[in-house]
Amino acid sequence: MIKLDNSYLNLPDDFYEKIQPEAVDSPSLIAFNFSLAEEIGLNIDSYSQEDLAEIFSGNKIIENSQPLALVYAAYQFGHPVAQLGDGRAHLLGQSNGFDIQLKGSGRTSFSRNGDGKSALGPVLREYIVSEAMNRLGVPTTRALCAVKTGEEVYRQDGPEPGGVFTRVAESHIRVGSFQYFAFREEFESLELLLDFTIDRHYPSLRSLPLHEKAIEILKAITVKQSDLIAKWSSFGFVHGVMNTDNFSMAGITIDYGPCAFLEEFQFNKVFSSIDQRGRYSFFNQSPIAKWNILRLADCLLNFIDEDQEKAIARVEQEIIPMFAMFEEKRFKAFASKLGLTDYSEADNELVMDFLNYLEENSMDFSLGFYHLKDLFVGDFKNYKKTKSLEDFVIKWKQRTPDLESSKEINPLYIPRNHLVQKAIDGVYAGDHSFFHQLNEVLSSPFKEQEAKEEFSRPAQGTEVVEKTFCGT
Ligand code: AMP
Ligand code: MG
């Protein structure tokens, strides 16, 4: 039997709306992550596939579960939005401290004009990509279940099959959750949220006085987010919508929308159709993360010091200098990919030489790093042999790279857009085999697998996906 707690219910009811998911016609299971269920202590032994489809579509509510939709606000593309919230998601509760949330499970009072539903495509996409991220070692929400609802939803290209995704997360607390109360100047609630966040993610800060909690959580989030962005960078991941509602207080990747992995390397690559100015481009993810942390700091200023100027001065003195971590960790991550284990700032030039080479020659980001072992022994077959590459190789070899050390950092298999699309197309046509095969290959991303060339090959010709869209 599944048993869930729900610590959000200890918070006052202006943090959420208690609301049941909408029932769907005829849910069927497409994928269920049994090993994740075990990891989070979810006892599903007594359920059939049909039961699981009923539970994780929202049709059948587990005993004692009180589903809720959380409220939050945001800065979206730099502009404040006073109220957002789970407009198509229902948090069922927690198992071993992990939130379990349905996405695409119907309207809530935060749905605005949306239908509260999700097409099956984005459900499958999030399933594939979030599990692949986990296997790559990137902190992320996880995929527990993908269900086909048996209903249709209407999207820009007409009707599509509907789906419900079950997401597991260390929490669903976002910078936007703080902004909701800060924008309304509801400081009591804001303090409750701060304590709730500290309890769940930063328990060592529990006993500090309020002003220290506020400054220390900013430091803690700076550490976590700089680690996260360095990981994203090292795998060529572009999140696509780093609005503050998609910026996790637990420091995990959350809200997979128009995200994608780089193929041809470009520093400023953008995939998302709505990111017209490149605000959330690949290389802009570090500066944006810093900007988001400063927006969190705005919310906490009152707690840091009653005197606004003194509060700002503390942020300037204690937080902003820490932001150097973002650049440093990102360079260090790239240096590790080059096999340089004893990174120093002097390696930045080498890193930039290689990235510039990749960009100038439209090289595939992942394969460019994966094949370095060939380059090391003078085999240029996977590269365009240019003067700049030859110069790089000489300098690089002088640094005596240890390519054994970079084995678990340079994947051969990443969820390339065209592969994800092929998996979705297959399921839409009633054939689930490629979807399952892709998940299987991506579960072991670093080691070459037999007869799996298709899964490491970059998109060609019409396969290339230039634009990605939000999940809805
Ligand atoms: P996301 O793209 O998941 O970050 O969502 C941005 C905001 O739009 C959140 O407040 C969502 O709850 C809301 N939203 C997205 N899709 C829908 C939908 N189909 N129906 C209602 N609300 C939605
Ligand atoms: Mg979001």
Q: What is the pLDDT of residues 159-210, one digit of tens each?
A: 999 999 999 999 999 999 999 999 999 999 999 999 999 999 999 999 999 9
> For residue 178, is it within any domain?
no
> For residue 273, is it within any domain?
yes
Does 96 have pLDDT greater than 70? yes
- Of 383, 410, 437, which residue sits at a domain end? 410
115 lines ligand 1 (CB under 6 A): yes
- Domain check: are 13 and 160 in the same one? yes
**Ligand 1 mean position to 125 CA, how many Å?**
16
- Domain check: are 424 and 327 in the same one? no
> For residue 281, is it within any domain?
yes
Residue with tokens 């500090």: 208
Classify residue 47 as exposed, middle or buried by CB count within 10 Å of its CB (0-12, 13-18, 19+).
middle
pLDDT given for residue 471 in this prediction = 65
> For residue 93, is it within any domain?
yes
> For residue 233, is it within any domain?
yes
Q: Is the C-alpha dihedral spanning 325, 331, 332, 334 positive or negative?
A: positive
> For residue 192, is it within any domain?
no
- Domain check: are 76 and 130 in the same one? yes
Residue with tokens 């080059």: 338
Does 382 have pLDDT greater than 90? yes
- Domain check: are 100 and 29 in the same one? yes
**Ligand 2 mean position to 132 CA, how many Å?**
20
For the residues 364-378, what does the mean pLDDT come to? 97
197 lines ligand 1 (CB under 6 A): no
- Domain check: are 115 and 154 in the same one? yes
85 lines ligand 1 (CB under 6 A): yes
> For residue 345, is it within any domain?
yes
- Domain check: are 11 and 158 in the same one? yes
284 lines ligand 1 (CB under 6 A): no
- Domain check: are 149 and 216 in the same one? no
d(CA 358, CA 364): 7
**Ligand 2 mean position to 458 CA, how many Å?**
29
Q: Which atom of ligand 1 is nearest to the CA of 117?
A: 19
Q: Is 27 left (phi over 0), alpha (psi -120 to 50) or beta?
A: beta
- Domain check: are 148 and 232 in the same one? no
Does 3 have pLDDT greater than 70? yes
For residues 301, 305, 306 and 307, what is the CA-based torsion angle, rounded to 10 degrees?
Answer: -90
| Nearest CA, atom 23, ligand 1 | 87
| Nearest CA, atom 1, ligand 1 | 255
Q: What pLDDT, in 10s, does the model give residues 111-156?
A: 999 999 999 999 999 999 999 999 999 999 999 999 999 999 999 8
Classify residue 151 as exposed, middle or buried by CB count within 10 Å of its CB (0-12, 13-18, 19+).
middle
Based on the residue annotation, tell me whether 305 is a catalytic residue of this protein.
Answer: no
For helices 417-428 and 120-136, what crossing angle results, to 10°? Answer: 140
- Domain check: are 140 and 253 in the same one? no
Task: Give the domain extent around 115.
Answer: 7-169
pLDDT band at 467 (very low <50, low <70, confident <90, very high): confident
Which pTM value belongs to this model?
0.97
Q: Which atom of ligand 1 is nearest to the CA of 85?
A: 10
Overall domain count for the chain: 3
The rounded mean pLDDT for the chain is 96
For residue 283, what are the contacts with CB-CB under 8 A and spacing of at least 6? 267, 268
424 lines ligand 1 (CB under 6 A): no
pLDDT given for residue 154 in this prediction = 96
Ligand lying nearest the CA atom of residue 259? 1
116 lines ligand 1 (CB under 6 A): yes
Catalytic residue among 13, 115, 227, 245: 245
> For residue 430, is it within any domain?
yes
Does 472 have pLDDT greater than 50? no
- Domain check: are 16 and 165 in the same one? yes
pLDDT given for residue 393 in this prediction = 98
- Domain check: are 224 and 336 in the same one? yes
Q: Is 167 left (phi over 0), alpha (psi -120 to 50) or beta?
A: beta
- Domain check: are 291 and 371 in the same one? yes
Q: What is the percent of the chain where pLDDT is above 90? A: 95
